[in-house]
Amino acid sequence: MSKRAAVDIKNGPSLFILERLSPSDILAPFDCSIREYNDYLIQEAQKAQNEFIAVTWLLHERENGSIVAYMSLINDAIKLTATEKELHHLDYPFRTIPATKIAKLAVSSLYCRQYKGIGTYMLYLAAGIAEDTNLKHSACRFVTVDADIEHDPNVTAFYTKNGFIPNTEMTSKHSKTISMRKDIWV
Ligand SMILES: CC(C)(COP(=O)(O)OP(=O)(O)OC[C@H]1O[C@@H](n2cnc3c(N)ncnc32)[C@H](O)[C@@H]1OP(=O)(O)O)[C@@H](O)C(=O)NCCC(=O)NCCS
């Protein structure tokens, strides 16, 4: 098997471009191996974006325009315990802290075989959008995700490797997801 090329924040911008989903995008060839995630992109993402429910960002390969990965972002707020607040030096009288949530994230299986690091690069881009929101529009202290352990029981490892930690208040024992956060204020 040939070695996968590594994508990182240095070579990512020369290989790929992140663009907001537009009605002219051809979505049908996208396949990340989880049907629900393919169907969401192809059938629901544009509607959700039009109706201010989720904004979808597509990572295109610069060379041929193919969709390499996508993520859908929404506004969020998470409840933290006193200990969690202390961990993030949040000295405020309220428990609910604003965030930007990755509601969906998927990398094309084709590109996963070719490159490693695309998912990590998408998380970096999500944090960049959240930072930009802070500078220009409204505050969000964390990037959050409900890690989908129903489709992939190991997926929390991907987020943990990228600096996310579980939210103790937000996940119930029988949940199909694990609520996680990453502090973008450093
Ligand atoms: C999860 C997903 C986004 C990861 O993208 P990716 O491009 O494969 O991830 P990366 O190459 O950046 O991986 C970074 C690290 O996380 C690990 N990792 C990636 N996916 C993993 C998974 N599913 N389980 C455990 N570890 C994982 C990698 O091995 C790598 O570790 P290393 O740095 O020690 O080599 C991608 O596999 C995907 O689209 N899966 C299907 C949809 C999905 O599950 N989305 C997430 C829903 S919450």
For residues 84, 86, 87, 92, the Cα torsion angle rounded to the nearest 10 degrees is 80
CB 91 within 8 A of CB 176: no
How many A from CA of 155 to the centre of ligand 1?
A: 7
Mean pLDDT computed over 20-27:
97
How many A from CA of 158 to the centre of ligand 1?
A: 5
Instruction: Kindly report, residue by residue over 58-70, the tens digit of the pLDDT.
Output: 999 999 999 999 9
**What DSSP element (H or E) covers 2?**
none
Domains along the chain? 5-183 (3.40.630.30)
Q: pLDDT-derived band of residue 151, with 50, 70 and 90 as boundaries?
A: very high
Which residue ranges have their beta carbon within 6 Å of ligand 1? 32, 34, 37, 105-107, 112, 116-120, 145, 147-148, 151-152, 154-155, 157-158, 161
What's the pLDDT at 1? 55
% of the chain beyond a pLDDT of 70: 99
What are the DSSP calls for 24-59, one per residue? Answer: T---TT---S-HHHHHIIIIIHHHHHHTTS-EEEEE
Mean pLDDT computed over 159-181:
90
CB 129 within 8 A of CB 100: yes
Q: Which atom of ligand 1 is nearest to the CA of 146?
A: 48
How many A from CA of 109 to the centre of ligand 1?
A: 11
How many A from CA of 123 to the centre of ligand 1?
A: 11
